[in-house]
Amino acid sequence: MENLNKIRLAIIGCGFWARYQIPAWLELEDVEIVALYNRSITKANKLATDFNITTTYDDAEKMFINEQLDAVDIITDVDTHAHFVKMAARYGIAVICQKPMAPKFAVAKQMIEITLNAGVPFFIHENFRWQMPIRKVKEQLECGIIGKPFKARVSYCSAFPVFKNQPFLATLNEFILTDIGSHVLDICRFLFGEVSSLYCQTASINPGIKGEDVANVFMQMKTGLHCYAEMSYASILEKEAFPQTFILIEGESGSIQLTYDFEIKVTTRKATNCFIATPVLYNWVDPDYAVVHSSIVDCNRNILQSLRDKGSTETTGVDNFETVKLVWAAYASAQKNKVINLNEFYGE
Protein backbone atom coordinates (compact mmCIF):
# COMPACT_ATOMS: atom_id res chain seq x y z
CA MET A 1 0.00 0.00 0.00
CA GLU A 2 1.23 3.52 -0.82
CA ASN A 3 2.49 5.43 2.21
CA LEU A 4 0.78 8.82 1.99
CA ASN A 5 3.17 10.32 4.52
CA LYS A 6 6.21 9.97 2.35
CA ILE A 7 7.86 13.14 1.05
CA ARG A 8 7.13 13.23 -2.69
CA LEU A 9 10.28 14.23 -4.50
CA ALA A 10 11.11 14.80 -8.17
CA ILE A 11 14.63 14.83 -9.56
CA ILE A 12 15.64 17.44 -12.14
CA GLY A 13 18.69 16.32 -14.12
CA CYS A 14 19.85 12.75 -14.69
CA GLY A 15 23.62 13.13 -15.11
CA PHE A 16 26.60 11.85 -13.11
CA TRP A 17 25.50 13.00 -9.65
CA ALA A 18 21.85 11.87 -9.97
CA ARG A 19 23.06 8.27 -10.07
CA TYR A 20 24.26 8.69 -6.46
CA GLN A 21 21.80 11.29 -5.23
CA ILE A 22 18.88 8.95 -6.00
CA PRO A 23 20.09 5.89 -4.04
CA ALA A 24 21.12 8.25 -1.24
CA TRP A 25 17.52 9.51 -1.03
CA LEU A 26 16.29 5.92 -1.12
CA GLU A 27 18.37 5.13 1.99
CA LEU A 28 15.90 7.35 3.87
CA GLU A 29 12.65 5.62 4.68
CA ASP A 30 10.17 8.41 4.30
CA VAL A 31 11.05 9.62 0.80
CA GLU A 32 9.47 8.62 -2.47
CA ILE A 33 10.93 9.65 -5.82
CA VAL A 34 7.86 10.11 -7.97
CA ALA A 35 9.35 11.47 -11.19
CA LEU A 36 12.54 12.25 -13.06
CA TYR A 37 13.11 15.08 -15.49
CA ASN A 38 15.89 15.31 -18.05
CA ARG A 39 16.11 17.32 -21.27
CA SER A 40 16.93 14.05 -23.05
CA ILE A 41 14.22 11.54 -22.14
CA THR A 42 16.45 8.57 -23.00
CA LYS A 43 18.73 9.42 -20.10
CA ALA A 44 15.76 9.90 -17.76
CA ASN A 45 14.25 6.59 -18.83
CA LYS A 46 17.50 4.73 -18.27
CA LEU A 47 17.84 6.06 -14.73
CA ALA A 48 14.14 5.42 -14.05
CA THR A 49 14.57 1.78 -15.06
CA ASP A 50 17.68 1.40 -12.92
CA PHE A 51 15.92 2.76 -9.83
CA ASN A 52 12.38 1.56 -10.43
CA ILE A 53 10.88 5.02 -10.87
CA THR A 54 7.71 5.01 -12.92
CA THR A 55 7.40 8.50 -14.39
CA THR A 56 9.78 10.52 -16.54
CA TYR A 57 9.56 13.90 -18.30
CA ASP A 58 11.54 15.93 -20.80
CA ASP A 59 9.36 18.97 -20.03
CA ALA A 60 9.88 20.25 -16.49
CA GLU A 61 6.81 22.55 -16.53
CA LYS A 62 4.64 19.53 -17.32
CA MET A 63 6.14 17.69 -14.38
CA PHE A 64 5.31 20.54 -11.99
CA ILE A 65 1.76 20.67 -13.37
CA ASN A 66 1.06 16.92 -13.38
CA GLU A 67 2.75 15.76 -10.19
CA GLN A 68 1.83 16.36 -6.56
CA LEU A 69 5.26 17.31 -5.26
CA ASP A 70 6.64 18.24 -1.85
CA ALA A 71 10.08 19.12 -3.19
CA VAL A 72 12.37 18.98 -6.21
CA ASP A 73 16.06 18.14 -6.19
CA ILE A 74 17.98 20.00 -8.90
CA ILE A 75 21.00 17.99 -10.04
CA THR A 76 21.78 19.74 -13.33
CA ASP A 77 24.96 21.57 -14.33
CA VAL A 78 25.36 24.91 -12.57
CA ASP A 79 24.28 27.11 -15.48
CA THR A 80 20.66 25.87 -15.31
CA HIS A 81 20.21 25.97 -11.50
CA ALA A 82 18.58 29.42 -11.50
CA HIS A 83 16.13 28.48 -14.25
CA PHE A 84 14.79 25.50 -12.31
CA VAL A 85 14.87 27.24 -8.92
CA LYS A 86 12.71 30.03 -10.39
CA MET A 87 10.34 27.44 -11.83
CA ALA A 88 9.97 25.68 -8.48
CA ALA A 89 9.35 29.04 -6.79
CA ARG A 90 6.59 29.79 -9.32
CA TYR A 91 4.89 26.51 -8.46
CA GLY A 92 5.43 27.06 -4.72
CA ILE A 93 7.48 23.87 -4.33
CA ALA A 94 10.40 23.48 -1.89
CA VAL A 95 13.66 23.27 -3.75
CA ILE A 96 17.01 21.60 -3.18
CA CYS A 97 19.84 22.57 -5.47
CA GLN A 98 23.35 21.19 -5.97
CA LYS A 99 26.33 23.34 -5.14
CA PRO A 100 27.63 25.68 -6.44
CA MET A 101 24.42 27.62 -6.17
CA ALA A 102 24.99 29.63 -9.37
CA PRO A 103 27.62 30.43 -12.00
CA LYS A 104 27.81 34.09 -10.86
CA PHE A 105 27.34 35.95 -7.58
CA ALA A 106 24.46 38.12 -8.90
CA VAL A 107 22.54 35.03 -10.03
CA ALA A 108 22.90 33.41 -6.60
CA LYS A 109 21.65 36.61 -4.96
CA GLN A 110 18.63 36.62 -7.24
CA MET A 111 17.87 32.96 -6.41
CA ILE A 112 17.88 33.79 -2.70
CA GLU A 113 15.57 36.78 -3.23
CA ILE A 114 13.16 34.87 -5.47
CA THR A 115 12.75 31.93 -3.09
CA LEU A 116 12.43 34.21 -0.04
CA ASN A 117 9.78 36.34 -1.80
CA ALA A 118 7.89 33.22 -2.92
CA GLY A 119 8.08 31.80 0.62
CA VAL A 120 9.55 28.61 -0.83
CA PRO A 121 12.05 26.65 1.30
CA PHE A 122 15.41 26.66 -0.49
CA PHE A 123 18.28 24.31 0.39
CA ILE A 124 21.69 23.73 -1.11
CA HIS A 125 22.97 20.20 -1.34
CA GLU A 126 26.37 21.00 0.22
CA ASN A 127 27.62 17.63 1.39
CA PHE A 128 31.36 17.96 2.23
CA ARG A 129 30.62 19.27 5.74
CA TRP A 130 28.56 16.06 6.17
CA GLN A 131 31.54 13.78 5.57
CA MET A 132 32.01 11.52 8.59
CA PRO A 133 35.70 12.48 9.18
CA ILE A 134 34.85 16.18 9.05
CA ARG A 135 31.98 15.76 11.54
CA LYS A 136 34.46 13.91 13.83
CA VAL A 137 37.01 16.72 13.54
CA LYS A 138 34.31 19.18 14.57
CA GLU A 139 33.40 16.98 17.58
CA GLN A 140 37.04 16.98 18.71
CA LEU A 141 37.25 20.74 18.24
CA GLU A 142 34.08 21.34 20.23
CA CYS A 143 34.98 19.02 23.09
CA GLY A 144 37.73 21.51 23.94
CA ILE A 145 40.66 19.09 24.10
CA ILE A 146 42.95 21.38 22.05
CA GLY A 147 41.75 24.56 23.74
CA LYS A 148 41.09 27.71 21.73
CA PRO A 149 42.12 27.15 18.08
CA PHE A 150 44.32 29.89 16.61
CA LYS A 151 45.44 28.50 13.24
CA ALA A 152 44.22 25.98 10.64
CA ARG A 153 45.02 24.52 7.26
CA VAL A 154 42.36 22.91 5.09
CA SER A 155 43.86 21.17 2.05
CA TYR A 156 42.29 19.65 -1.01
CA CYS A 157 45.04 18.89 -3.55
CA SER A 158 44.75 16.23 -6.22
CA ALA A 159 45.41 15.32 -9.84
CA PHE A 160 42.35 13.07 -10.20
CA PRO A 161 40.89 13.44 -13.72
CA VAL A 162 37.53 14.90 -12.65
CA PHE A 163 36.85 16.09 -16.20
CA LYS A 164 36.29 12.50 -17.37
CA ASN A 165 33.13 12.09 -15.28
CA GLN A 166 32.13 15.75 -15.38
CA PRO A 167 33.28 17.16 -18.76
CA PHE A 168 31.30 20.35 -18.11
CA LEU A 169 33.85 21.34 -15.46
CA ALA A 170 36.52 21.79 -18.14
CA THR A 171 34.39 24.45 -19.86
CA LEU A 172 33.93 26.70 -16.82
CA ASN A 173 35.70 30.06 -16.88
CA GLU A 174 35.74 29.93 -13.08
CA PHE A 175 36.55 26.39 -12.08
CA ILE A 176 38.25 25.38 -8.86
CA LEU A 177 36.90 28.04 -6.53
CA THR A 178 33.33 27.41 -7.66
CA ASP A 179 33.58 23.62 -7.86
CA ILE A 180 35.78 22.66 -4.89
CA GLY A 181 36.12 26.08 -3.27
CA SER A 182 32.38 25.92 -2.54
CA HIS A 183 33.04 22.79 -0.49
CA VAL A 184 36.36 23.73 1.09
CA LEU A 185 35.33 27.25 2.09
CA ASP A 186 32.08 25.84 3.46
CA ILE A 187 34.10 23.42 5.61
CA CYS A 188 36.09 26.41 6.93
CA ARG A 189 32.84 28.18 7.88
CA PHE A 190 31.45 24.98 9.41
CA LEU A 191 34.53 24.53 11.61
CA PHE A 192 35.54 28.09 12.41
CA GLY A 193 32.59 30.40 11.76
CA GLU A 194 32.43 33.45 9.51
CA VAL A 195 35.28 35.23 7.78
CA SER A 196 36.29 38.82 8.32
CA SER A 197 38.88 39.17 5.53
CA LEU A 198 40.64 37.09 2.90
CA TYR A 199 43.45 37.12 0.38
CA CYS A 200 43.58 34.74 -2.59
CA GLN A 201 45.91 33.77 -5.42
CA THR A 202 44.92 31.49 -8.28
CA ALA A 203 46.80 29.69 -11.09
CA SER A 204 45.88 27.84 -14.27
CA ILE A 205 48.16 24.83 -14.77
CA ASN A 206 46.20 22.36 -16.93
CA PRO A 207 46.12 23.78 -20.49
CA GLY A 208 43.21 21.50 -21.37
CA ILE A 209 40.66 23.36 -19.25
CA LYS A 210 39.28 26.89 -19.36
CA GLY A 211 39.31 27.97 -15.72
CA GLU A 212 41.82 28.10 -12.87
CA ASP A 213 42.79 24.80 -11.25
CA VAL A 214 44.75 26.10 -8.26
CA ALA A 215 43.57 28.49 -5.55
CA ASN A 216 45.12 29.42 -2.23
CA VAL A 217 42.96 31.42 0.15
CA PHE A 218 44.20 32.92 3.39
CA MET A 219 41.40 33.98 5.73
CA GLN A 220 41.12 35.79 8.98
CA MET A 221 38.05 34.43 10.74
CA LYS A 222 35.87 36.64 12.94
CA THR A 223 37.25 34.77 15.96
CA GLY A 224 40.76 35.89 14.96
CA LEU A 225 41.79 32.39 13.81
CA HIS A 226 44.04 32.27 10.73
CA CYS A 227 42.81 29.77 8.18
CA TYR A 228 44.69 28.74 5.06
CA ALA A 229 42.58 26.87 2.50
CA GLU A 230 44.52 25.35 -0.38
CA MET A 231 42.94 23.61 -3.34
CA SER A 232 44.31 22.21 -6.57
CA TYR A 233 43.54 19.76 -9.33
CA ALA A 234 47.09 20.07 -10.68
CA SER A 235 48.87 18.39 -7.75
CA ILE A 236 50.73 15.26 -8.83
CA LEU A 237 51.57 13.82 -5.43
CA GLU A 238 53.11 10.60 -4.19
CA LYS A 239 49.75 9.53 -2.78
CA GLU A 240 46.65 10.55 -4.72
CA ALA A 241 43.97 11.27 -2.14
CA PHE A 242 40.91 12.28 -4.18
CA PRO A 243 38.39 13.29 -2.86
CA GLN A 244 39.75 13.61 0.66
CA THR A 245 40.12 16.90 2.49
CA PHE A 246 42.99 17.14 4.96
CA ILE A 247 42.79 19.39 7.99
CA LEU A 248 45.24 20.56 10.61
CA ILE A 249 43.94 22.70 13.46
CA GLU A 250 46.27 24.12 16.08
CA GLY A 251 44.92 25.21 19.45
CA GLU A 252 46.39 26.57 22.68
CA SER A 253 46.53 23.06 24.22
CA GLY A 254 47.02 20.78 21.22
CA SER A 255 46.20 20.00 17.62
CA ILE A 256 43.78 17.95 15.53
CA GLN A 257 44.85 16.45 12.24
CA LEU A 258 42.72 14.73 9.63
CA THR A 259 45.02 12.90 7.26
CA TYR A 260 45.10 10.08 4.65
CA ASP A 261 42.41 7.43 4.75
CA PHE A 262 40.30 9.25 7.36
CA GLU A 263 42.82 9.00 10.17
CA ILE A 264 42.33 11.60 12.89
CA LYS A 265 45.18 12.39 15.27
CA VAL A 266 44.56 14.43 18.38
CA THR A 267 47.74 15.66 20.03
CA THR A 268 48.18 17.30 23.43
CA ARG A 269 51.37 17.82 25.46
CA LYS A 270 50.67 14.37 26.97
CA ALA A 271 50.01 12.15 23.95
CA THR A 272 48.70 11.67 20.44
CA ASN A 273 45.49 9.67 20.14
CA CYS A 274 44.58 8.28 16.72
CA PHE A 275 41.36 6.89 15.34
CA ILE A 276 39.87 6.23 11.93
CA ALA A 277 36.60 7.89 10.92
CA THR A 278 35.57 5.58 8.08
CA PRO A 279 32.51 6.67 6.12
CA VAL A 280 29.55 4.29 5.74
CA LEU A 281 30.21 2.36 2.53
CA TYR A 282 26.77 1.88 0.96
CA ASN A 283 26.70 -0.73 -1.79
CA TRP A 284 25.96 1.91 -4.45
CA VAL A 285 28.92 4.24 -3.84
CA ASP A 286 31.65 4.56 -6.45
CA PRO A 287 34.83 3.60 -4.51
CA ASP A 288 36.69 6.54 -6.10
CA TYR A 289 34.19 8.94 -4.52
CA ALA A 290 33.24 6.92 -1.41
CA VAL A 291 33.56 9.57 1.29
CA VAL A 292 31.60 12.08 -0.79
CA HIS A 293 28.88 9.70 -1.93
CA SER A 294 28.34 8.46 1.58
CA SER A 295 27.92 12.02 2.90
CA ILE A 296 25.02 12.60 0.49
CA VAL A 297 22.80 10.48 2.74
CA ASP A 298 23.53 12.57 5.83
CA CYS A 299 23.15 15.82 3.95
CA ASN A 300 19.79 14.67 2.55
CA ARG A 301 18.66 13.47 5.99
CA ASN A 302 19.36 16.91 7.40
CA ILE A 303 17.37 18.59 4.59
CA LEU A 304 14.53 16.13 5.10
CA GLN A 305 14.27 17.29 8.71
CA SER A 306 13.10 20.72 7.52
CA LEU A 307 10.83 19.27 4.84
CA ARG A 308 9.16 17.27 7.59
CA ASP A 309 9.04 20.22 10.00
CA LYS A 310 11.05 18.17 12.44
CA GLY A 311 14.13 20.33 12.80
CA SER A 312 16.39 22.71 10.96
CA THR A 313 18.77 22.31 8.05
CA GLU A 314 22.37 23.49 8.12
CA THR A 315 22.72 24.06 4.39
CA THR A 316 19.86 26.41 3.63
CA GLY A 317 20.19 28.74 0.64
CA VAL A 318 20.62 31.67 3.03
CA ASP A 319 23.41 29.92 4.92
CA ASN A 320 25.12 28.76 1.75
CA PHE A 321 25.01 32.30 0.39
CA GLU A 322 27.73 33.12 2.96
CA THR A 323 29.92 30.49 1.25
CA VAL A 324 29.02 31.91 -2.17
CA LYS A 325 30.22 35.32 -0.91
CA LEU A 326 33.61 33.82 0.01
CA VAL A 327 34.02 32.25 -3.43
CA TRP A 328 33.44 35.54 -5.23
CA ALA A 329 35.44 37.59 -2.75
CA ALA A 330 38.32 35.16 -3.42
CA TYR A 331 38.09 35.80 -7.17
CA ALA A 332 38.03 39.55 -6.56
CA SER A 333 41.06 39.30 -4.28
CA ALA A 334 43.03 37.27 -6.83
CA GLN A 335 42.11 39.63 -9.63
CA LYS A 336 43.05 42.79 -7.69
CA ASN A 337 45.87 41.17 -5.71
CA LYS A 338 44.32 42.72 -2.59
CA VAL A 339 43.01 41.71 0.81
CA ILE A 340 39.20 41.81 0.80
CA ASN A 341 37.31 42.86 3.89
CA LEU A 342 34.06 40.92 3.55
CA ASN A 343 31.74 43.47 5.17
CA GLU A 344 33.13 46.35 3.10
CA PHE A 345 33.13 44.30 -0.11
CA TYR A 346 29.46 43.33 0.22
CA GLY A 347 28.42 46.71 1.72
CA GLU A 348 27.22 45.19 4.99
Binding site for ligand 89Y (CB under 6 A): 162, 166, 179-180, 243, 292
CA–CA gap between residue 100 and residue 91 (Å, rounded): 23
DSSP category for residue 279:
P
Burial class (CB in 10 A: 0-12, 13-18, 19+), 297: buried
Nearer to ligand 89Y, 137 or 292 (CB): 292
Nearer to ligand 89Y, 184 or 219 (CB): 184
Residue 346 CB, shortest distance to ligand 89Y, in Å, is: 25
Residue 162 CB, shortest distance to ligand 89Y, in Å, is: 4
How many DSSP H helices and E strands does the chain contain?
Answer: 12, 15
The DSSP code sequence of 162-227 is HHHH-GGGGG-SS-HHHHTHHHHHHHHHHHH--EEEEEEEEE---TTSSS--EEEEEEEETTS-EE
Nearer to ligand 89Y, 140 or 182 (CB): 182
Nearer to ligand 89Y, 20 or 331 (CB): 20
DSSP category for residue 157:
E
Residue 179 CB, shortest distance to ligand 89Y, in Å, is: 5
Residue 192 CB, shortest distance to ligand 89Y, in Å, is: 21
The CB-nearest residue to ligand 89Y is 162
Residues 6+ apart with CB under 8 A from 68: 8, 34
Residue 150 CB, shortest distance to ligand 89Y, in Å, is: 29
Nearer to ligand 89Y, 138 or 183 (CB): 183
Q: Tell how far CA 23 is from the center of its chain.
A: 18
Nearer to ligand 89Y, 103 or 243 (CB): 243
Residue 171 CB, shortest distance to ligand 89Y, in Å, is: 13
CA–CA gap between residue 125 and residue 271 (Å, rounded): 38
Residue 294 CB, shortest distance to ligand 89Y, in Å, is: 13
214 to 162, 176, 279, 323: CA distances (angstroms): 14, 7, 27, 18
CA–CA gap between residue 182 and residue 161 (Å, rounded): 19
- Going by DSSP bridges, is the β-strand pair 149-157/226-232 parallel, antiparallel, or unpaired? parallel
Type and span of the H or E element at 283: none
294 to 129, 139, 219: CA distances (angstroms): 12, 19, 29
Nearer to ligand 89Y, 69 or 296 (CB): 296
Residue 323 CB, shortest distance to ligand 89Y, in Å, is: 13
Nearer to ligand 89Y, 171 or 272 (CB): 171
